[in-house]
């Protein structure tokens, strides 16, 4: 196997059954066999500097959002840093793992999970998880959905390669969950009201509080789910 040719960029691997998919910061993603999309895509974004790797997250997030919006209509958003929400429920997410060599990203695996035809979720995640089936009340063809997602990701990736960073960030912000909306957050056990005002190319979330604009990195702040659904 050591002499085998490397996989070409754009290789897509689809899993029928995933019981311990990993999310950001070792969170776990469970999926019902045969009901949902769990895929990994190999990319080689050597045109991106390591300190701009979050731009790839933005590009793929926007691609998935645009694909699903064509199916669900309004109500979709991108929850920082890497989830897809319908209203206040998570219907998808991703984890991008990069292999960095020197000052370049040599390769990356984009792992994507979308709740598609699952109608029932385990106790404990029921209030937070949703699916396309719950929105549409009908099944979605997984293969056709995968083809649409890959097409959108390819288009977004080519734009990223062309260097359209400001445009990409603008679109990402337009679709951002709770962007410029007063909402509640928790940090170190304290709940406070604030407003998301920006996400940098490095993935830093900026929130406007009564004490001014404060930057947060991943897992430094928790979103509080609104009571009204």
Do 124 and 55 reside in the same domain of the chain? yes
86/37 same-domain check:
yes
197 contacts 204 by C-beta, under 8 angstroms: no
In a shared domain, residues 118 and 196? no
**Does residue 3 form part of some domain?**
no
Q: Would you say residue 5 lies in a domain?
A: no
Is 7 among the domain residues? no
State whether 199 and 104 are in the same domain.
Answer: no
- DSSP strand E in 16-67: where? 21-22, 28-29, 37-43
Q: Is the pTM of this model over 0.85?
A: yes
Residue 125: predicted pLDDT: 55
**Predicted pLDDT at 127:** 66
pLDDT at 190: 93
Residues 108 and 169 in one domain: yes
In this structure, the answer to whether residues 150 and 191 fall within a common structural domain is no
Position 228 in a domain? no
In a domain, 193, yes or no: yes
- On whether residue 48 sits in a domain, the answer given is yes
Check whether residue 44 and residue 146 sit in a common domain: yes
**Residue ranges, the chain, pLDDT below 50:** 1-2, 18-27, 29, 228-229
Domain membership of residue 143 (yes or no) is yes
User: Which pLDDT does position 128 carry in this prediction?
Assistant: 84
Verify that 135 and 192 share a domain, yes or no: no
Q: Are 95 and 54 in contact (CB under 8 A)?
A: no
Whether 147 and 169 map to the same domain: the answer is yes
Other CB atoms within a 10 A radius of the CB of residue 42 amount to 16
Is the residue at 2 inside a domain?
A: no
3-state secondary structure 175-219: CECCECCEEEEEECCEEEEEEEEEECCCCCEEEEECCEEEEECCC
pLDDT on residue 198: 97
Instruction: Identify the domain containing residue 57 by its residue range.
Output: 12-174
Q: How many domains are there within the chain?
A: 2
Q: For the CA atoms of the chain, what is the radius of gyration?
A: 18
Chain-centre distance for alpha carbon 68? 12
| Residues 216 and 143 reside in one and the same domain | no
Three-state SS for 51? helix
For residues 159 and 187, membership in a common domain is answered with no
Mark whether 215 and 134 lie in a shared domain: no
Chain center to CA of 79: 7
What pLDDT was estimated at residue 154?
Answer: 96
CB 21 within 8 A of CB 48: no
């Amino acid at each position: 196997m050591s002499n085998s040719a490397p996989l070409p960029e754009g290789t897509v691997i689809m899993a029928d059954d995933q019981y311990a998919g990993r999310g950001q910061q070792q969170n776990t993603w469970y999926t019902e066999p045969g009901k949902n999309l769990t895929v990994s895509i190999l990319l080689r974004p050597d045109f991106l500097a390591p300190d701009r790797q979050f731009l790839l997250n933005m590009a793929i997030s926007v691609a998935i959002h645009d694909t699903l919006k064509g199916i669900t209509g309004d109500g979709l958003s991108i929850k920082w840093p890497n989830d897809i929400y319908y209203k206040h429920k998570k219907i998808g997410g991703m984890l991008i793992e990069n292999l960095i060599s020197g000052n370049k990203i040599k390769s990356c695996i984009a792992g994507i999970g979308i709740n598609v035809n699952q109608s029932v979720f385990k106790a404990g995640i029921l209030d937070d998880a949703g699916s396309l089936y719950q929105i549409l009340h009908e099944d979605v063809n997984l293969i056709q959905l995968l083809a649409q997602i890959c097409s959108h990701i390819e288009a977004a990736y080519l734009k990223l390669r062309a260097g359209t960073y400001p445009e990409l960030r603008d679109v990402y912000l337009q679709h951002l969950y709770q962007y410029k909306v007063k909402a509640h957050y928790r940090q170190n056990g304290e709940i406070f009201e604030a407003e998301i005002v920006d996400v940098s190319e490095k993935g830093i979330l900026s929130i406007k509080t009564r004490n001014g604009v404060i930057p947060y990195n991943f897992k430094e702040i928790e979103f509080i789910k609104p009571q009204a659904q």
